[in-house]
Each structure stands twice: as structure tokens, then as C-alpha cells.
Chain A
Amino acid sequence: MTTYYSEEHEWITVEGDTATLGITQHAADQLGEIVFVEQHGQGDEFDKGEEIGVIESVKAASEIYAPLDCEVIEVNGTLEETPGALNEAPEGDAWIYKIKLKDLSQLEDLMDLDGYKALIG
């Protein structure tokens, strides 16, 4: 299992050609208290850079984007009732999707933890 990070403050932990996707603690902290998560459904497919969901905090709505071409294979349904979990454990229990990766070579465009830490300073 390897974890990669995007410039849009998402993480994906990859196992074979599937991965778990979520937002980083840094992103959650910046958004503030999260009150609603809009998720797409299982089976929906996305190109890299497409909007794959919306997170609403008490302050504003923020989109999340597909870090690479993917298909949603599982949606974390617990976020509908407890969106605040995204503030508590965005890199743990409050993952957003499990996805199937379509082009593993796109992983090269993502960052490792050190790269991401450098990005957020």
C-alpha cells in the first residue's frame, strides 16, 4: 500500500489497481467545520480533474476533483449522516470513496508525503 497526494489536497492509498480516496487533514482544517458532503454514486466514472464531489463547511462549498481517471466502486455512506467526521479523521475512517484506477501511470503525477508536506509548507 502506498499513499499519494494531489495538489488539490486529496490522498489516495493504492493497493493494486484500487485505491481509497479522501481529503487531507490540512484540507479539512482549512475548510472549517464540515456540515455536508455531496458524493457521486457507485459505478460513476471520472476523468482526471473532473469534480467528484462537494464538501460544504459552515463557511463555503468546496469541490473535490478526481486526482486521476477512476471509477467509484464504493461510497462511504456514513458521511451523509456524520459529515463532521471529515474534520476528525479525514485520513482515516472518513474516507470518501474507494475507486478503481484506470491508468496507473497517472500515479507518477502525484506527490509522496514529503512532496505534499513541502507543498503545504
Chain B
Amino acid sequence: MTDTPKRTPLYDLHVELGGKMVDFAGWEMPVQYPLGIMGEHKQCREKAALFDVSHMGQVILKGENVGEKLEAICPQAYATLKEGKARYGFFTNDDGGIMDDLIVSNAGDHFFVVVNASMRHQDIPHMAANLDGVEVTEIFDRALVAVQGPAAEEVVGSLCPAVRELKFMETTVAEILGAECRISRLGYTGEDGYEISIPEDRAVEVSRAFLAHEDCEAAGLGARDSLRLEAGLCLYGNDIDTTTSPIEASLNWAIQKRRKEEGGFPGADRIQRELAEGAARKLVGIKPEGRAPARHGVEVQSLEGNTIGEITSGGFGPTVGGPVAMGYVAKGHGAPGEKVNLIIRGKAQPAEIVALPFVQQNYKR
């Protein structure tokens, strides 16, 4: 890709704050600020951190029975998603693989969808082609910021009291400094917090107002990655992709009972079969016993020396205070407590299968 990376409405603010800018999925984004990845990570776990996630795709779906139509391309129960509620989900393909993961919100007169930056180019045409009679509009004139952490309610609530009333996975429209924002109580860090869609010409002002709160600091993609990993959340392209089914990816919880039973989505055959019989492999948490991080691609072996899987996400968990990883292991393996070896630079390093998440999720239910 030789295209010049795109910039979000907050680009100048990132540079002003000393953000170290890198190319991510065609966007020039801050990987960290002077506070550093560990400091930003801990800031989010202990107080509040502001992330620019404007590179993600924001989409408006308008039409009759949008939720019902979404059920034809997603295994989630979107037909019964109540107004003001948001729900995590994914697009599946005919083989039962995951095309992308997303958040769908019922905004009353429309549905609001957020998809991954790297998959916008696929997801928008996919929805347009498959949602008959639905107007699919990608939003280009709004920023998206996430304020995450135990102090997020204070940071956002001090400017917009209405957000205090929201519960986890609820969404509303409210004014912040007079700018009309869509505010959803969710995120991808394992902490309480909000994702806020802001008109682009007001995004810097609103972000500065959040950052002016003594408990809020800017955080970059580096901390976002270590936070979601500790929270046991999948990263599309690393842990899940078109070759992994939701059951393999341990995303059973994200498919509602009615859809599991009735099917009627792409790849339902495989997904229902795996629900009944178990999948050939399973995404699990893996905790290296030493200090060496095990990164994407590291081989997982049984103690007998047989290859049983591969690490898909791994690194250092600042809150855990040591290395953490997720990966796939073959059927018959993967019970918490099972000892395995990770082959790091040719050497077997001891590790243990653990239940996810590594750090307790802290949502306001």
C-alpha cells in the first residue's frame, strides 16, 4: 500500500501531546505518548484514558427491520436488540469463519454500527450488498474517541451528567459542550467507559475538555493492545479471521440462544455442529511462567513435545506484571491448569493454560 496514511480529526492534537505516530491500517495513529505504554495502560486501569479510535468505521443503517436483516449476515440476535442498546457481534462467511467483528447499536430511527479500521473497505460493501432495502451510510465527518477506566464516568459525566445513567452496552445521544454526540457505555479495554462519536469540527475541543480532567490522560494504540489482551478480548486479524470460527474463538457467549438454535446465518452448519460436538481447536488464555513474552506465531507444544497450537496475541501485561498470551490449542487440550511449552526462539519455555480474562473486567452492569 503506497497510499498516504489518513489522519483523524485529532491528528494535530496527538502531535501536540507528543504522540509517536505510526501507520496503522492506513491511518497515522499515536502508538504512545510521552507517558509510555505501561504508564498509559495503568492510567486506564486506575483512572481514565482517552483513546482516538476515529480510524474505525462508523456506519448508519436506515430502513425497515434493519435488525432482522442484519441477522442474515451476523449470528447475533439483532432483531430483538432494544432501542438504546448495543451488542457485540461479527459477520460470518459461508464457511463459518469471521469476516470482521463489530458493535451494533439500536439508535431508534436507525442502527449505528462500528467496524474495524482495517475492514471498512470490506464491511461497507458487504452490508450494502446484503441488507436489502437498507440505506448504508459510512460516516466520514465524525471522530470517535474512547474514554476508558474507573474514572471515565467522572471524566465524561462532569461534562455530560446524562452518561452517568447509562449502563454497560447502552447508548444515547447527548450534548457535550453543545456538540451533539452519540455516547455508548462500552469499550475494548476491560474497563468501564464510553465510546463517543463527535462531529469532527468539535472533536478536538471535546477531547481537550476530557483531558483537562485531572484523572484523564491520552493513551495510544500500544496501551489499547495490552489492555484488550489482558481483558481477553480478540483482535481481528490476530486472534480471529476468516479461518477461525466463533466457536473456535471461544465467542459462544456472543451468539444468543435463539440464533444458536435456529441458525439462519452464514456458516450456521459449521457453527451449530461445533456447538454440539466441540471445535477442532479453541482459543484459550496462556500464561508464560517465565518472564519472556510469547508473541504472535509462537508454537505451543504439549509436555510430550507435540505441536498442539499457536499463540495469536501475546506480550507483556502491565497490570499482570508479566507476560500474557492467547492462542489456539487442539481439541483435547486447553483445560485451565494444563501445563504446556512455548517455543520461543527455539527454546521450550514453560507456560500454563489459564481462564480468560487475565484481569477482571470492570463493567457497570
Contact = CB atoms under 8 A, between A and B. Distances in A.
| Interface residue range, chain B | 10 to 19
B222 interface: yes
Interface stretch (A9-17, A30-38, A93-101, A112-120): A30-38
A38 B316 contact: no
Contact of A58 (B291, B292, B316): B316
A61 B293 CA distance: 9
B293 A56 contact: yes
A67 interface: no
Contacts of B316: 35-36, 56, 58
A27 to B, nearest CB: 16
A54 B226 CA distance: 21
A113 B291 CA distance: 33
B38 A33 contact: yes
A90 B50 CA distance: 32
A35 B291 contact: yes
Q: What interface size band does chain A fall in? A: 10 to 19
A80 interface: yes
A53 to B, nearest CB: 11
B32, B291, B318 interface centre (most CB from chain A within 10 Å): B291
B222 A35 contact: no
A94 to B, nearest CB: 16
Interface in A46-85: 54, 56, 58-61, 80, 83
A54 B345 contact: yes
A100 B316 CA distance: 33
Contacts of A54: 345
Given A38-B345, A58-B315, A33 B37 contact: yes
B36 interface: yes
A33 B42 CA distance: 14
Interface in B277-331: 291-293, 295, 315-316, 318, 323
B30 to A, nearest CB: 13
B37 A61 contact: no
A3 B295 CA distance: 35
Contacts of A59: 31, 37, 222
Contacts of A80: 291
B153 to A, nearest CB: 28
B345 A58 contact: no
Given A36-B316, A56-B316, A61 B38 contact: no
A32 B32 contact: yes
B295 A58 contact: no
A33 B222 CA distance: 11
B111 to A, nearest CB: 37
Contacts of B38: 33, 58
Contact of B226 (A56, A58, A61, A83): A58
Interface string A21-49: 00000000000110110100000000000
Given A35-B291, A59-B37, 18 more contacts: A32-B32, A35-B323, A36-B292, A36-B293, A36-B316, A36-B323, A38-B345, A56-B316, A58-B36, A58-B37, A58-B38, A58-B222, A58-B226, A59-B31, A59-B222, A60-B295, A61-B295, A80-B291
Interface of A: 32-33, 35-36, 38, 54, 56, 58-61, 80, 83
